[in-house]
Amino acid sequence: MKNDDFYCILAPKSYLYRHTMKRYLFSTALLFFSSLVFSQKLSQVSLAGGLSYFTIYSDPGVSIRISPDGKILEYGTELVSDRGGYYAPKLQPYLGRLEYYGPQADSAFRGKVKSIGTSSITYYGSYETEFKAGKLRSIGTLTLDYYTNYDNAALRGKLRFIGSLILEYYPSIDDEAVRGKLKSIGSTPLKYYSSFDDRYLRGKIKSIGTVAIDYYTAMDRAELRGQLRSGFYRPNVGGITFILQ
């Protein structure tokens, strides 16, 4: 018989109460610190063919991909090949716990995903402006906000904040090759080739922070033109992976 069990038999009720409370507080603290370790964050931005999605890392190993206007596209696990480091374009379906909003929920998010694993999902209600209603409001502790009708026409309805990171875009008055494209995430600037550059480069990402992106041009073989020259298609800048193809 263990010492704790022996004392539980002989000790007064006050001891049992303190013993139980210690276990409860320890379990609560463990759960709290686990939630901090696995807090949600922006992990990826896909620029393949233009800005196509943001990836939020939620539970360990679980990714949630959302569109630039705040809709869930897919969720699951990213697969990478054993050789060459190639990543599957689609996530492997999530097989864990899922919940959905029921028929009594607001019409703007009725039937939508309510939680994925331990990450709760909330949405803006039907009473919000048309640029927010029905869109993602939070994923776990990560809040999301959007540009509205008070902003430049090229920005309206697009994500403005992911957590504390502000997302800026090139306004409608800029060069047509960059107009509406993602300009910065937090302190990381994104630059693009303009409409005056090589015709195979126009509108393509030119640099992310201090990382320059190089492509084959009209001077190269026909089958290579416009493709990445370096093959470095997933640079990590500022803790975020940018997917280029």
pLDDT tens figures, 36-75: 445 789 999 999 888 999 999 988 889 999 999 999 999 9
Nearest residue to 45 (alpha-carbon basis) of 171, 187, 206, 234:
234
Compute the average pLDDT of residues 7-13. 47
Reply yes or no on whether the pLDDT at 6 is more than 90: no
Kindly indicate the confidence band of residue 28, based on its pLDDT and cuts at 50, 70 and 90. very low
Higher confidence at residue 47 or residue 13?
A: 47
Reply yes or no on whether the pLDDT at 138 is more than 90: yes
Higher confidence at residue 91 or residue 23?
A: 91
Kindly indicate the confidence band of residue 186, based on its pLDDT and cuts at 50, 70 and 90. very high
Percent of the chain clearing pLDDT 70 (strictly above): 84
Shared-domain flag, residues 17 and 90? no
What mean pLDDT value characterizes the chain?
86
Shared-domain flag, residues 81 and 161? yes
Shared-domain flag, residues 43 and 136? yes
Query: What span, in angstroms and rounded, lies between the C-alpha atoms of 91 and 74?
Result: 7
Shared-domain flag, residues 11 and 44? no
> Which residue carries 């402006």 as its tokens?
129
Instruction: Provide the 10 A C-beta neighbour count for residue 68.
Output: 19
Reply yes or no on whether the pLDDT at 135 is more than 60: yes
Total domains in the fold of the chain: 2
Shared-domain flag, residues 42 and 150? yes
pLDDT at 233 (0 to 100)? 87
Residue 155 burial by Cβ neighbours in a 10 Å radius (0-12, 13-18, 19+): buried
Quote the domain boundaries for residue 191. 38-243
Shared-domain flag, residues 101 and 162? yes
The answer to whether 206 and 193 have CB atoms below 8 angstroms apart is yes
For CA atoms 62, 155, 209, 242, the dihedral sign is positive
Least confident of 5-9, 11-15, 103-107: 5-9
Q: What is the tens place of the pLDDT at every residue in 222-232?
A: 999 999 987 67
Reply yes or no on whether the pLDDT at 243 is more than 70: yes
Shared-domain flag, residues 28 and 42? no
Compute the average pLDDT of residues 195-207. 94
Shared-domain flag, residues 72 and 188? yes
Shared-domain flag, residues 133 and 157? yes
pTM of the model: 0.82
Shared-domain flag, residues 129 and 28? no
Kindly indicate the confidence band of residue 23, based on its pLDDT and cuts at 50, 70 and 90. low
Compute the average pLDDT of residues 152-175. 93
Shared-domain flag, residues 10 and 125? no
Shared-domain flag, residues 113 and 182? yes
